[in-house]
Amino acid sequence: MVAAFDDDPTKIGKKIGALEIMDVALLPEVVKRMGLRVGIIAVPASNAQKVATTMVASGIKAILNYAPVALNVPEGVQVYQTDPLVGLQSMTHYLEGS
């Protein structure tokens, strides 16, 4: 992970490991400056489409979507939908079998 964004003023400026959470308004500038092509969405379903639209408009071409909602993106943008709960269940099942 090379950048993190949020629109919640209480989270902006806080750290995730070594990364400082930036205002989502800076996303287009950062995507362009860093040449980013892949993004991760980990927001409530109600905000996911807005975030995806901003990412795509900024130049993101592939999105890993953790939000429980299908995203509407233009042709040429790849979305991989994943459910973290299913992943946790799979890992728990694996651990129980070992």
Give residue-wise pLDDT tens across range 39-71: 999 999 999 999 999 999 999 999 999 999 999
Sign, CA torsion 46/49/53/54: positive
Structural domains of the chain, count: 1
- The whole-number pLDDT of residue 98 equals 67
Residue 36 belongs to domain spanning: 4-96
Question: How high is the mean pLDDT of the chain?
Answer: 93
Q: Over 90: is that where the pLDDT of 83 sits?
A: no
The CATH number given to whatever domain includes residue 77 is: 3.40.50.720
Amino acid identity at 25: A
- Residue 78: what are its φ and ψ, rounded to 5°? -95, 130
